[in-house]
Amino acid sequence: MSPDTRWFLTGGGGQLADALEGLLDGEVFVTREEHLDLRDAAAVTAAVQAFRPNVVLHTAAYTDVDGAERAEEQARAVNVHGTRHIIDAVRGTSAQVVSFSTDYVFDGRKGAPYVEHDEPGPLNAYGRTKLAQERETLAWAHGTVIRTAWLFSATGRNFVRTILAAARERAAARIAEPLRVVDDQIGSPTYAGHLAATVVEALGEGLGPGIYHMAGGGACSWCELAREVVALAGLPVEVAPITTAQADRPAPRPAFTALTTERAIPQPPCWQDGVAAVMDELLDTR
């Protein structure tokens, strides 16, 4: 992208927004939830039109899967209406809106990695709101949807950090009870730093409107991901498999939502490389 590009980045403080911010050339305007409520159409319009962006990187979202199951309208207000407000704010311009979506728009019954043309069929409220967000984005002539999955980094609330904290606690207290982690959900864990670099590279190559899949290469279960974290941490903690039914979460989860692409676009490295990069940062004692 040109160094004159004006980037409007939503979701400041989040894993992906923070990773993107450090990679962008040009002028960058970053919004945070406490400064800009995406549900407020007038406020969104004022902020966007005052900055006059060339590209909107829309990473802000309601991402609490179980919370959305209990309060779908709250999730919809952010994910759907918030996206609509951004689109409305750029009307009359040629600004590209890049919106980030999820593997949870699929039902997990395909039995093979999903590509861009596969038919969505979300099982839960969160997935429904993200699919509706995609449709809002694609209704804009310059709308781009990037689907990713199982995002993690060295900051923020995410599965890798949660597992590391739990394993450290067990090791310190010498608790013999294993960590019990779901083993019958398969996906494509994605390091936010790798995703951000891939997105910037793809946009630099002229990524246009449409749907694109960008996720860590390969696939694993949550249990396998947890075992990778514990092994890299060198902790004497057992990770034992449980089923989705045993986990008993409010929102139904799809069984297999690994993502791959049918398009000639850059892709993040394999999920193991992402975990290794994050663990190097989390375990750095310097």
pLDDT in tens, 131-180: 999 999 999 999 999 999 999 999 999 999 999 999 999 999 998 899 99
The total of structural domains in the chain comes to 1
What does the pLDDT read at residue 284?
79
pLDDT in tens, 44-89: 999 999 999 999 999 999 999 999 999 999 999 999 999 999 999 9
Judge whether 109 lies within some domain: yes
Judge whether 240 lies within some domain: no
Among the listed residues 62, 114, 126, 191, the single catalytic one is 126
Residue 111 CA to residue 234 CA, distance in Å, equals 33
| Token pair for 286 | 């310097």
126 has catalytic annotation: yes
Is the distance from CB of 55 to CB of 98 less than 8 angstroms? yes
Is the distance from CB of 277 to CB of 206 less than 8 angstroms? no
From 10, 7, 12, select the one nearest 83 (Cα to Cα): 10
Query: CATH number of the domain that 132 lies in?
Result: 3.40.50.720
Judge whether 241 lies within some domain: no
Judge whether 193 lies within some domain: yes
Please count the residues of the chain.
286
What does the pLDDT read at residue 34?
79
Residue 143 CA to residue 75 CA, distance in Å, equals 21
Residue ranges making up the domain that contains 24: 6-149+189-215
